[in-house]
Structure formats: structure tokens, C-alpha cells
Chains A and B, each alone.
Chain A
Amino acid sequence: EAGVAQSPRYKIIEKRQSVAFWCNPISGHATLYWYQQILGQGPKLLIQFQNNGVVDDSQLPKDRFSAERLKGVDSTLKIQPAKLEDSAVYLCASNSRGLQETQYFGPGTRLLVL
């Protein structure tokens, strides 16, 4: 069974530029999560989707971050404009029925903002 796929694996941009990350969850998984993991920290949940609807985006900085899952499968996370403090690993995870079930994480996208 294929795992959670993310791309790109690495991205370097300058501050004030825009960037987008893509996630393809495990086939059949209705729930998709985006996490931000700053160096030396644990992952922080940014947004949770159930199918194509947002369940929780309370920790998403909505002035610059946006995410969508239009068809309830793939998802994109966008930062516009990026700040230096956005440098982090952005992890995508998925499962079938929300936080009460094991989440499966992708390898992450490493973002460096210069």
C-alpha cells in the first residue's frame, strides 16, 4: 500500500515570495492533516480536513496561509507571502476517521525562507 506522498521534498524561497505544497493521502483516507514542524519542535497541527470540508483550522495563520482539498483527495497548502519564521518542515498526514485513529505521516516538505 502506498504511503502519504508529498512534493516537493525541499524548497528554498526568499521572504515575501509565495510557495505551495502538495499532498496525496493514502487511498481511501477521508481525513487529511497539515502540520508545521519547526526545527527542534514537535509537529503543530495547522488544519484538518474531513473529505473536502475543514474540521479544524484554529492554528492556521489565515492572513498568509491557505489550504484546500477541493475534491476530497489531494490537498495543497499555500503560504503567501512567506516570512523567515515560516522555515520549517510541513508534514501531511491522513487516516480514515479523524484523530481517534492512527495518523500516517508523509515525509514532509522542508521549506527554507531566506
Chain B
Amino acid sequence: GQQLNQSPQSMFIQEGEDVSMNCTSSSIFNTWLWYKQDPGEGPVLLIALYKAGELTSNGRLTAQFGITRKDSFLNISASIPSDVGIYFCAGQLTMNRDDKIIFGKGTRLHILP
């Protein structure tokens, strides 16, 4: 079946650093989604991308939908302690009422004291 490769698997950074993570797939999607999940909670949507090449920002977060429709990246600028958590990408294919959504395995962000 379809799979998403999300990298890196985990990151250890200093507060204030910028962060970059990405997802790639062997299949195309028509929507890319980025979620954040805190411990004991469900994922919360950060950014949704609907068009190849689209670059969207949400505060310190910026995400892009790759031109090939097979990849996406998420950048976080000037990280702060509350950015700690697991970030998931999800690719979505909506076609002829046969909608599919697939999540990556997550990038675990740790901020060093």
C-alpha cells in the first residue's frame, strides 16, 4: 500500500533554532496536511496545502506542497519550548468519492534546556 517517508524521525535542537522536516511518497496526493500531537492528546491540524507548489505560513510555521505532488516540507522558525511534540504529515487523495488519507510516522521534536 501507499506509504509516506517522514524525516527526520527525531530532532534535538536548542531553543531559538529553526527546524525543518519533510515527507516524501512514491504516490501523488492532492492535499498535504501537517499535524502536531502533544502527549495524551489527539493530533491538531497546523497547515493544510491544496495545490502543487503552494507555500503557506501559520505564524512561525511554513509548509510547502511539492511541485511533483509527492512531497511536502514543514519549517518552524525560532523554536520555543511549546513546539515540543510529534509532528505528522498526512497525504490525502480525493478522487471520485474514493478518499484516502495516509499519515507519516512522525518527527519527534525535542528542545534541549
Q: Interface on A for B, CB 8 Å cutoff?
A: 4, 40-45, 48, 55-56, 91, 93, 98-100, 102-103, 105-108
Contact = CB atoms under 8 A, between A and B. Distances in A.
Contacts, number: 48
A100 B99 contact: yes
Nearest to B108: A40
What secondary structure prevails in chain A residues at the interface with B?
loop
Contacts of B45: 102-103
A102 B42 contact: no
Nearest to A110: B40
A82 B36 CA distance: 29
Interface string B31-48: 100000000111111001
A80 to B, nearest CB: 24
A48 B6 CA distance: 25
B103 A42 contact: yes
Interface string B1-19: 0001010000000000000
B46 to A, nearest CB: 11
B92 A99 contact: yes
A98 B104 CA distance: 20
A43 B103 contact: yes
B66 to A, nearest CB: 19
B105 A41 contact: yes
Given A98-B99, A99-B94, A99-B101, A4 B42 contact: yes
Contacts of A91: 42-43
B105 A107 contact: no
Given A99-B99, A102-B48, A42 B90 contact: yes
B104 A106 contact: no
A40 B44 contact: no
